[in-house]
Amino acid sequence: MGLSNMAISRLSQTWEKLPSKFRKLYTEFESLIDPSRNHRAYRLSVSKLQPPIVPFMPLLLKDMTFTHEGNKTSLDGLVNFEKMHMLAQTLRTIRFCRSRHLVLEPPSPKSEGDVKSYISCLRVIDNQRILTGMSQKLEPRRS
């Protein structure tokens, strides 16, 4: 996915040309999204932020799925309040992320049009064979 895709990460000559401050920034972001210890680095970083925050929704949905599927809803005919508490905590996290509105100046019509024009020209290539071919064309394998 993204810059960690093999077709991109193999481009050693290209990576070497990138200014060191951007390589360092990429390394910091990479460590931030490290999935080890249940995304501990990301969770700690987000916990220090003030809203509004755009949360990484796949992680929160994973939390809710594991909570729901990994715990019985009732135990001995009684509601499993521990499960409900865990689900509620995830929902509180989502609500906290949007507890304050972001106030932005509306974009000028020209800049909005430029952005729309740029986005309409973008192409997404999600075929790994095509990406690998493009990568090898840029930097052929060394024999």
* CA pair distance 29, 16, nearest whole angstrom: 18
Tokens of 108: 């000028």
Instruction: Write out the CATH class of domain 2-101.
Output: mainly alpha
Q: So where are the chain's domains?
A: 2-101
Residue 88 confidence (pLDDT): 97
Residue 117 confidence (pLDDT): 87
Residue 15 confidence (pLDDT): 94
Question: What residue ranges of the chain have pLDDT lower than 70?
Answer: 1, 107, 109-110, 143
**Considering just the CA atoms, what is the radius of gyration of the chain in Å?**
22
Query: Buried b vs exposed e over 25-57: b needs ≥16 C-beta within 10 Å?
Result: eeeeeeeeeeeeeebeebeeebeeeeeebebee
